[in-house]
Amino acid sequence: MSLSHTGGCLCGATRYEITGEPAFTIQCYCRDCQRISGAGNLPLYVVPRDCFSVSGPVKTHSRTSETGNDLELTFCGECASPICNINSKLPDRVFVMAGSLDDPALFSTETKIYEASRQPWDKS
Ligand SMILES: [Zn+2]
Ligand SMILES: [Zn+2]
């Protein structure tokens, strides 16, 4: 089993590396994740913060989430692809956008959250 996962943005300027296995994985249907992804839900690969390193022209955007937590979104400053979130509720974790993994097939999850916001057209 690989102990190092890599990923990055659409343009390739931002790259990241994850060492070790994810703490947990989720698929989130909240409105914030719908806006971040532009899709019905956001698959998130959640890793300990000290296992995640990112390099490139990243920018961050901070806001208070709908659930009242502080959310810091990291995205590529060149192509604007979302890379990861840090949520003040779990500040020692990084929520990595699973679709940005070099091998997205590494992702799987049984855990779906905020399904009350699920859209009827989202059959995932
Ligand atoms: Zn980029
Ligand atoms: Zn969410």
Classify residue 122: in a domain, yes or no.
no
Classify residue 62: in a domain, yes or no.
yes
Encode pLDDT of 15-68 as tens digits: 999 998 888 999 999 999 999 999 999 999 999 999 999 999 999 999 998 888
Classify residue 124: in a domain, yes or no.
no
Classify residue 123: in a domain, yes or no.
no
- Residue 104 Cα to ligand 2 midpoint, Å, equals 19
Q: Residue 56 maps to which CATH number? A: 2.170.150.70
What range does the domain containing 94 cover? Answer: 4-117
- Residue 41 Cα to ligand 2 midpoint, Å, equals 7
The model's pTM: 0.93
Q: Are strands 4-8 and 15-19 parallel, antiparallel or unpaired?
A: antiparallel
Helices (H), 1-124: 31-37
Tell me how many domains the chain contains. Answer: 1
